[in-house]
Chain A
């Protein structure tokens, strides 16, 4: 296809850390990263959005609780309900849960320690906008770094996530933060919204990452957009 690259927005909140790595991952995957600012209502005609990691608004009140009500999130929430692909990584996952675009919540690590490690994961849902380039059950290793990454939800919600195949990734070897049922990432029913606690954007180049396993999230969304446009 000789068309222009797809535009993938990367949001910067005050306190965001990983926006540049996310933009770099988009570029390495072949997309055009587009910076989105938390106070803007303008999504700049992007085809997909990444909510990167960090500590938006200082994590005050609860992680993601203030970011949820930022002008840009109002637009993203509406667009996500309309099918716009949105990937929330770490703090971005927390924002998606606070926005009720994904069920459950993320709480203080069971150990109370901030955890930073290369984490092995199993990809369990490949029918999302962000995971189509992986194979079912594929095992990948990407960095994980969080203080409040424990995924929690009531038993009925957990059963529904498992029953409907909405768990996208699960921790292997160790459960680093006490997440219920080893859940590292989930999706919505439609598959356009995915939240993930580990960081695929830090595993896209051999020089700086433990692997290049994370690139698949970014190539997947571009392939999914190309499929939708074809």
Chain B
């Protein structure tokens, strides 16, 4: 992603600019114990919600992109996938999915 410049014209809303939102969901891999999900599951039982077999907790990131990348869905997805791998998820213990929203 190109770094935002501090040029004034770049900082002001540009009605012609393309904006895209990309959602990254990060979940612990199935083989990794999820004590938070287990605690939520137990609490649901105490609250009387029957029939819940399992709860696993994860994280959702919403990444908003408003430069030239937004016009190229494939490049956008590739770039967000790269940043998710680098920082948002620890791929040793977590899986992630990337979804470009319209």
| Residues in chain A within 8 A of chain B (CB atoms) | 61-62, 65, 69, 97-98, 100, 103-105, 107-112, 150, 152-155, 178
Contact = CB atoms under 8 A, between A and B. Distances in A.
Contact of B93 (A69, A100, A105, A178): A105
Contacts, number: 37
A69 B88 CA distance: 13
Nearest to A106: B93
Contacts of B32: 107, 152
B35 A110 contact: yes
Interface string B7-43: 0000000000000000000001001110110010000
B2 interface: no
A166 to B, nearest CB: 16
30 contacts: A61-B87, A65-B87, A65-B90, A97-B92, A100-B92, A103-B92, A104-B92, A105-B92, A105-B93, A107-B28, A107-B32, A107-B33, A107-B93, A108-B35, A108-B36, A109-B35, A110-B33, A110-B35, A111-B35, A112-B35, A112-B36, A112-B39, A150-B33, A150-B35, A152-B32, A152-B93, A153-B92, A155-B31, A178-B33, A178-B35
Interface residues of B, number: 12
A178 B39 CA distance: 15
Nearest to A153: B92
A107 B38 CA distance: 14
Contacts of A111: 35
Nearest to A157: B92
Nearest to A64: B90
B35 A154 contact: no
B84 to A, nearest CB: 12
B28 to A, nearest CB: 8
Interface in B18-76: 28, 31-33, 35-36, 39
A69 B33 contact: no
Nearest to A109: B35
Contacts of B92: 97, 100, 103-105, 153
Given A105-B93, A152-B93, A61 B35 contact: no
